[in-house]
Amino acid sequence: MASEPSTQSRVMFQADKREEPAHRKLGKLTVKYNRKDLQRRLDIEEWIDGQLHLLFDCEEEEIPELEIDIDELLELTDEGQRTRLQELLQECGKPKEEFINGLLYRIKGLRKMSGPLKK
C-alpha cells in the first residue's frame, strides 16, 4: 500500500516530560537472607516434595491438598512440630514416622524467613 505523507493523518502522543536517562544508576541491593539458608530451605522443600510422592504413592496432581509450612513448624516446640506433622499427614495410610523424623532432623538450625537475619 503506497501512502503519501501529505494526505495521511497522523496521531501523535505527547511523551512524558520526565524521560528515563539512557542508562540508569544501579542502586545498592540489600540481601535480607543468607544464600546458604535459602539453598538449604529449597533443598528441604524439594526433599519434602519427593517424600510426599513416596508416602502417598501417586503423581503430584493426586496428592491431597497438603501444605507443610516450615516457618510455622519453626515456631513450635519439638513435640509441637511432631504433633503438627502427624495432623497434616493423618490421611496418609503408610507409616510416616521416618518422614517426620527426617524432616525434623533437616529443619534443625533453620531460621524463620520472616524474621530479620542476625549476624
Q: Is residue 60 part of a domain?
A: yes
Q: How many separate domains does the chain show? A: 1
At residue 62, φ and ψ (nearest 5 deg) are -95, -10
Q: pLDDT (tens digit, 9 = 90+) per residue, 18-51?
A: 555 555 556 655 556 678 888 999 999 999 988 9
Kindly state the cell numbers that stand for 31: 540481601
pTM more than 0.85: no
Q: Is residue 114 part of a domain?
A: no
Q: What is the DSSP string of 35-71?
A: HHHHHHHHHHHHHHHHHHHHHHTS-GGGS-S----HH
Q: pLDDT (tens digit, 9 = 90+) per residue, 6-20?
A: 556 666 656 555 555
* Domain hosting residue 76, numbered range: 35-107
Q: Is residue 8 part of a domain?
A: no
